[in-house]
A and B are shown apart, each in its own frame.
Chain A
Amino acid sequence: MIITRRFAGQLLAGVAVTATLGRFDLALAAEKAVTVALDLSLTGADAEGAKRVEYGALLAFDEANAAGGAGGYKINVVPMDDGSATAGQYDPAQAATNARKMASDKSVVAALGPQMSGAGKAMSPILSMADLATITPSSTNPDITDPKFAAQYRPAGKAVYFRTVTTDAYQGPNMANYFADVLKTKSIFVLDDSGAYGVGLADAFQGQAEKKGIKVLGRDRLDPKAADYSAILTKVKSLNPDGLYYGGVLQAGVKLLKQAYDILPATMVKGGGDGLYGPEILTAVGFPAAEGWYCSNASPHSMVDPKSQDFIKRYTAKFNVQPDDYAITAYVGAQVIVDAIKRVAATGKPVTRSAVRDAIQGTKLDSLIGSVEFDANGDLVSKVVSIFQVKKDVAFPLEDMSAQLKYIGIAPAT
């Protein structure tokens, strides 16, 4: 580069501006602020659900800031996206990069996310080394918090991966109980989508199904980027099981549901986990293909709870879209972070990420999903799995999740 006189002038001006801005930053810092990072899958197949989760978290932080911050600390939110175009959904490599970004930014005292377990597996070890706690509003793979895998997912020892949902160690088996006890399914075919979440959920389901005496006629793995599942569905049809269970998210789910409608008999019981519980089951799959599918959520169905109604009103007014259960768990997750910062600030000690982690561990918060407390691994003490079934109700818009996904009840615990 040739430095001309004119360029040198611009350079000097630039330096001057930067210097002023720097002083401005210092002035702000005197007002006491902390940063909370978000990590969600905003690019790809789960984008619609991610937006709702993000809004839930933003609402809680905005409300806290409007009320004078958390214990006097203003909360700055830095959203990050772990979805990538090449993956078409969450991308573990991007999630790890985001975790490193959070860890290296000293102003970040806590994080919210990720949405997906595959991303969580990549992030947890990095967050552990940084002693930075995160609260996931929807990732349910049990391995991440399982003490058996502590060396892998929390090498520094302390729990850093907290959840405002329960895990697939309950979501899969409880659904298997529902298939066996209520739906009287005798034989089943199990599919997953090759992802960390999907494989784990399908394994958990299959294990309990076998214990319950359901005959597992086969197990196969879908490539989420392939378009055609007619070969495997024709095989399922030929084996003629009573039921089909799919562990996975919507990238493969959309295609599976559409093609299953064409190929499998309508009488076959079909279900999946919370990976199917998203707006796209109605927008991209739609009726008639989605009709009759069961899905679950690893949280109580707070949307119908009378005490959630005010939240739903505030959320809808602000973002112009309906929340869902995981928007509520995100809202609660953000409240847990705000509450932890408040408690640290109240002790008069500096609000560091280690102090916030310890405070989150000791959370006792009454929230929209009931009482929030964590065990030593970061898992939610209360373990509720809700079941839904897609049932067309022409009285409501066909894309309205709260109307078209009928709440069946709480899945039977083992």
Chain B
Amino acid sequence: MTASDLLLQQLINGLSLGAMYALLALGFTLVYGILELINFSHFNVFMIGSFVGLYILQAFGLSGQAVILTGLPLAIALLTAFVGTMLVSGGLGVVIERVCLRPLRTVKGPAAMITTIGVSYILFNVVLLTIGADSKNFPNPLPDVQFHFGSAVLRLREILIWIIATLLMIGLYLFVQKSRMGKAMRATAQDPEAARMMGVEVDQVIIMAFFLGSALAGAGGLIFGLYYNFTSFIIGFNAGLRAFTAAVLGGIGSIPGAMAGGIIIGLIEAMGGQVVSVAWTDVIIFSLLVLVLVFRPAGLFGRLAPTKS
């Protein structure tokens, strides 16, 4: 393997990883942007998304590594899995907001954040105790199509992940920038009081932010399963922590920042493993985070909001 092939291969690895982190980071950023709340339950909404996706694919008869569907039926199965997973995990996010967080909205201090940690542990343990601790084999329904560039290999599933992640991110961007609800979200993020006075239904905006963020996390969970072909009750913590780091690195509250942060972390993880050693990956990632925050406390794309109190 030549050095340039190697670089290309690690670039492919890093971009796939980064796409997943970016989807997850968007959920942190959406909620933070509006409520200034770090929502740790997001970690395990992602994990539950991967299980929901697993069960939907199994309902289509997809299990193990055999390719049994092709063409249109496969596309329908995948589309159903994505839509179903996003609806269920989005719904879960809304329930979490309604049941656990809304009653605390007027409470100052870290109560709401601690509650999200609690919810995260509840979800984690419920899955552990009902579904079990062993890793589950996730179906790999995609035909084994490969493209070779020198000795670097690009697989269909990597391309698919990039396409899905890009579509979801563009969709979110357009929604937030162009739609009426998106405008209301941006207004609430800037100044909730003024937005309320202008007739924005702040409760609905918050529900929307939780729904969208959690739906993206669910999609991220399904992508995780399709990419790594396994899922387990524990996957949320590591991916969640990296994604959270990505959101902070990009500037928490900023949507382009979350996307860029995810990709950057994914690339560092791949390149760091190649150049230094995977044992040092965390040291490299978090040193970079500290370094960026020292010089740009608001993150790469974030702005410190002077108007907000």
Contacts and interface: CB of A to CB of B under 8 A. Distances in A.
B198 interface: no
B194 interface: no
B133 A232 contact: no
B234 A286 contact: no
A226 B238 contact: yes
Chain A: number of interface residues, binned into ranges: 35 or more
B279 A85 contact: no
A47 B129 CA distance: 12
A237 B234 contact: no
B135 A280 contact: yes
Nearest to A229: B278
A234 B13 contact: yes
A238 interface: yes
B134 A231 contact: no
B268 to A, nearest CB: 10
Interface in A78-118: 83, 85, 88
A213 B61 CA distance: 49
Contact of A220 (B153, B155, B277): B277
Interface stretch (B161-169, B176-184, B210-218, B222-230): B222-230
Interface stretch (A67-75, A253-261, A355-363): A253-261
A235 B274 contact: yes
B232 to A, nearest CB: 7
Interface string B217-249: 000000010001110111101110000000000
Contact of A227 (B233, B239, B279): B239
B36 interface: no
Given A194-B279, A286-B137, A85 B125 contact: yes
Contact of B232 (A45, A83, A222, A259): A45
B89 interface: no
A168 to B, nearest CB: 20
Interface in A224-254: 225-232, 234-235, 237-238, 240, 250-251, 254
Nearest to A43: B133
A223 B281 contact: yes
Interface string A266-291: 00000000000001100111111100
Contact of A225 (B9, B153, B237, B277): B237
A44 interface: yes
Counting chain B CB atoms within 10 Å of each CB, the highest count among A194, A226, A230, A288 belongs to: A230
A231 B133 contact: no
B132 A47 contact: yes
Given A194-B279, A223-B281, A286 B65 contact: yes
Contacts of A215: none
A95 to B, nearest CB: 17
B297 interface: no
A254 B135 contact: yes
Contacts of B5: 238
B246 to A, nearest CB: 14
Chain B: number of interface residues, binned into ranges: 35 or more
B270 A231 contact: yes
B136 interface: yes
A231 B269 contact: yes
A222 B278 contact: yes
Contacts of B237: 225
A280 B134 contact: yes
Given A47-B133, A221-B278, A255 B6 contact: no
B274 A45 contact: no
Contact of B137 (A44, A240, A285): A285
A393 interface: no
B1 interface: yes
A227 B235 contact: yes
A258 B229 contact: yes
Contact of A88 (B13, B224, B234): B234
Contacts of A279: 134
B93 to A, nearest CB: 22
A284 B238 contact: no
A48 interface: yes
A228 B17 contact: yes
Contacts of A85: 124-125, 128, 233
B257 interface: no
Contacts of A227: 224, 228, 235, 238-239
Contact of A48 (B14, B134, B232, B278): B134
B55 to A, nearest CB: 16
B273 interface: yes
A48 to B, nearest CB: 5
Contacts of A289: 65, 229
B191 interface: no
Contacts of A228: 13, 17, 228, 269
Given A231-B13, A286-B64, A287-B65, 15 more contacts: A43-B128, A43-B133, A85-B128, A220-B279, A225-B238, A228-B17, A228-B228, A231-B281, A234-B273, A250-B135, A258-B228, A280-B135, A284-B135, A285-B137, A287-B64
Interface of B: 1, 5-6, 9-10, 13-14, 16-17, 64-65, 124-125, 128, 132-137, 153, 155, 224, 228-230, 232-235, 237-239, 269-274, 277-279, 281-282
26 contacts: A43-B128, A45-B134, A88-B232, A194-B279, A221-B279, A223-B278, A223-B282, A225-B237, A226-B238, A227-B228, A230-B17, A231-B272, A231-B274, A231-B278, A232-B273, A234-B9, A234-B274, A235-B6, A263-B153, A280-B134, A283-B134, A284-B230, A285-B137, A285-B230, A286-B137, A287-B65
